[in-house]
Structure 1
Amino acid sequence: MKTKVALVKGGYTGEAEVSFKSAAFVYSQIDKDKYDVYPITISLDSWFYEDEQGAKHEIDRQDFSLELAGNKVTFDVAFIIIHGVPGEDGRLQGYFDMIGLPYTSCTALTSALTMNKGYTKAIVQDIPELNVAKSVLLFKEHRPVSVDMVTEKLSLPIFVKPNAGGSSIGMSKVSEWSALKQALDNAYDAENTGYQVLVEEFVTGREFSQGIYRDAKGELQVLPATEVRTTREFFDYEAKYTPGLTEEITPADLNTEQKERADRLIKEIYIRLNCKGMVRIDFFIENNTDKFFFIEINTVPGQTAQSFIPQQVRASGRTETAFYGELIEAAMGE
């Protein structure tokens, strides 16, 4: 009997568009001989399964089931592919915990913590050999005085971004103080990000993104790193999703010591944050000093054919089909 997989997509933010693309790719790659896969859309309006004829079937939120042709369908595991709220911030994970449905992502606590960039940095900053950029964390109550709080503590250039956002939505690089207020407004007002803003000093260096996951045997597997080179000022939403604006080199050109150090630190970050499933960690290697600077962690990374994780899976000699199967089996075996 095949394992029934709920492929959960959509969400409550602007990242839903990316989620649908990721889910379509994951669906195309999962082994249908082993798994019955049901794409489930979660939106503010409804939770539903859309069958091949285009008919929508509402999800019963009492137990995350649906009725098809008079039969009740329940799931063995949820493959979460929602970027942002509610699939990356712990809300959906907490719901699945309450109804006893295994899922492929980090736990509710880890998801909620890592969605908050400022809190995450506080947890990882004492890891040996790991550095974090000097920063200021702003809350809704700070908004009237946020410009002064930033100018008093940080030096230009700086990055301004929603503390709980993703896909670089609402993110700005500020090189002149005159542009700071507008950048703060953009970050505060980003949809469903909690009115918190993280402002960080700019680190000059090479930017990398690297995946790690726990396989079906419980072993940590670090994927090859990707180096990101963009023609934009920084890796913003347009650079991420507009073809031709960014060069992505997988595997990255790292020397032996840099590769071993990055792999070691990424494992320690995964362990320190008590991660599950696959995550992606972004970091800089600073020019001149060669120091490793943690940027952020993404607990539901993009999964289009061009996304970092699929690139890294292929570079490691694996297939996406085998990789997604491992994530499903690991989730069910915990």
Structure 2
Amino acid sequence: MKKNIAIIMGGYSSEYEISLKSGYVVFETLDKEKYNPFKVHIFKNKWCYVNNNGEEYSIDKNDFSVTVNNEKIKFDCVFNAIHGAPGEDGYMQAYFELLGIPITGCNMYQAALTFNKRDLISALQPYGIKTATNYFINYGDHIDEEDIVNKVGLPCFVKANKAGSSFGVTKVYQQEDLKNAIDVAFKEDNEIIIEAFLDGTEVSVGVISYKNETLVLPITEIVSENDFFDYQAKYEGKSQEITPARISASQQENVITEAKKIYEVLKMKGFSRSEFIFKGDQPYFLEMNTVPGLTKESILPQQANEAGISLNDLFSNAIEEALHN
């Protein structure tokens, strides 16, 4: 009997448009012989199932069901395609855990931890994972620009702590530009992380659970036309994403080791995509995405394709893993 799969997409953050694109790719790709996929939009003002004619049916949040033509539909599994809140920060994972409905990807704790850049690097440092020198600010804190520059140097990156797709990120070259960069970051989150600039090759490493094993996918090298891998570079073609990456054998070995170690230390499941920058042969960890982009052009699907894994296999594996864990 075919399983009913709710593909949740949208979300509450600036990433909602990207999430909708990912969700529609999942919907189009899933094997209709095995699954009945349903597009479910999750927004602050409405949760609804959207049929192929664009008609909307409200989701009953009490049990995450939907009634269509007097028939109540329940879901066997949820495919999480929400980038950012509330799909990548632990809230949806917690909700579905309480309802007893399997969801693809990691558990609530791992989602919350990895979504918080500051907490994540703090959790990984005792395991020897190298990161850029950093400085933390919360909204309302006194801002000592001289102290920031003394610690992290210039140029530096000012980032919203809990945001994705490079929203709220600014590269700062001069001390007098710090205040504006901090204001930009605070529009996305009330916590900020300021990081030292690392000058080296940037790579993105996908690590997934595939057929009950931890699999490191072929590595992607990021070459941005812009000053860094910002929103335009990620989504508007202002970058080259080269898979496999043009890195040395020792760099490849080191970053594979680090990426797999991070995945296993965190007890991750499902998809992950971690970003690193090399200083010499040593990879420095930047951040992890637990709901990476899933369009055909996105990095993780590119890496899976290079590994001989089709989108159909990638998505089906995620569902089967969720159903049987």
> C-alpha distance in 2, partners of 1:205/1:328?
37
Q: Which residue of 2 aligns with 1:240?
A: 234
CA contact (8 A) 2:207 2:272 kept: yes
Q: Which residue of 1 aligns with 2:160?
A: 162
Deviation at 1:152, TM superposition (A): 4.0
CA deviation map 1:70-100 (0-9, x unaligned): 1111111110010111000001111001000
Specify the SS of the correspondent of 1:132: coil
CA contact (8 A) 1:22 1:302 kept: yes
Q: Which residue of 1 aligns with 2:175?
A: 177
Specify the SS of the correspondent of 2:303: helix
Number of equivalent positions? 325
Q: Which residue of 2 aligns with 1:189?
A: 187
CA contact (8 A) 1:138 1:146 kept: no
CA deviation map 1:223-261 (0-9, x unaligned): 111000011110011111112x10110111233322222
Q: Which residue of 2 aligns with 1:40?
A: 40
Give the TM-score, by structure 2 length: 0.97
Q: Which residue of 1 aligns with 2:140?
A: 141
Specify the SS of the correspondent of 1:123: helix
CA contact (8 A) 1:174 1:183 kept: yes
> C-alpha distance in 2, partners of 1:326/1:146?
49
User: CA distance change for structure 1 residues 228 and 292 in 2, over 3 Å: closer, same or farther?
Assistant: same
Q: Which residue of 2 aligns with 1:307?
A: 298
1:213 aligns with 2:211: no
Deviation at 1:169, TM superposition (A): 0.5
Q: Which residue of 2 aligns with 1:327?
A: 318
Deviation at 1:29, TM superposition (A): 1.4
> C-alpha distance in 2, partners of 1:215/1:330?
8
Deviation at 1:263, TM superposition (A): 1.5
Deviation at 1:146, TM superposition (A): 4.9
User: CA distance change for structure 1 residues 11 and 146 in 2, over 3 Å: closer, same or farther?
Assistant: farther
> C-alpha distance in 2, partners of 1:94/1:148?
41
> C-alpha distance in 2, partners of 1:160/1:306?
27
User: CA distance change for structure 1 residues 78 and 176 in 2, over 3 Å: closer, same or farther?
Assistant: same
> C-alpha distance in 2, partners of 1:328/1:137?
37
Larger displacement relative to structure 2 (259-268 or 94-103): 259-268
Q: How does 1:1-334 map to 2 (within 5 A)?
A: 1-128=1-128, 130-142=129-141, 144-190=142-188, 193=189, 195-216=190-211, 218-243=212-237, 245-286=238-279, 289-334=280-325
Moved over 6 A (4+): none
Identity %: 37
> C-alpha distance in 2, partners of 1:149/1:177?
10
CA contact (8 A) 1:135 1:199 kept: yes
CA contact (8 A) 2:251 2:282 kept: no
Question: Quick one: which amino acid aligns to residue 155 of structure 2?
Answer: P
Deviation at 1:126, TM superposition (A): 3.1
Question: Quick one: which amino acid aligns to residue 31 of structure 2?
Answer: D
